[in-house]
């Protein structure tokens, strides 16, 4: 099963998206956007930048767990991963984003 982007509104009314792998696990989440069009633009940016390894910022959480950010060409963060148990698990997460994002389906959960 292919991955999908889910567009939704959070409790504060901001638009957010998450990329889910074929197994339903969230592999990337966005920040909140005031405008729906901005969130949709973020999804397009993830699709475009996901295949490029240099767009991934590999880092650690404040508690030392591996995680990553996906950045646009201008350096802005367009998606953030969960925290992982190991660097290998983080690399698997990056590979999942690379595989799923370009052709992921779009599901609108705001309606």
Phi-psi region of 4 (alpha: psi -120 to 50; beta: other; left: phi over 0): beta
83 phi, psi to nearest 5 deg: -90, 150
pLDDT in tens, 69-92: 999 999 999 999 999 999 999 999
Report the range of poorest mean pLDDT among 16-20, 21-25, 59-63: 21-25
Average pLDDT over residues 14-21: 97
- What is the distance between the alpha carbons of residues 37 and 34, in angstroms, rounded to a whole number? 9
Question: Could you tell me the domains of the chain?
Answer: 4-108 (2.30.29.80)
Query: What pTM value is reported for the model?
Result: 0.94
């Amino acid at each position: 099963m292919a991955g999908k982007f889910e567009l939704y509104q959070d409790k504060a009314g901001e638009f957010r998206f998450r990329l889910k792998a074929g197994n339903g696990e969230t592999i990337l989440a966005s920040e909140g956007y005031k405008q729906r069009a901005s969130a949709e633009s973020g999804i397009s940016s993830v699709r475009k930048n996901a295949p490029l390894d240099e767009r991934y910022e590999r880092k650690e959480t404040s508690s030392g767990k591996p995680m990553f950010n996906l950045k646009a060409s201008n350096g802005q963060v367009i998606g953030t991963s969960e925290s992982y148990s190991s660097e290998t698990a983080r690399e698997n997460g990056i590979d999942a984003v690379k595989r799923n994002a370009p052709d992921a389906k779009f599901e609108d959960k705001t309606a």
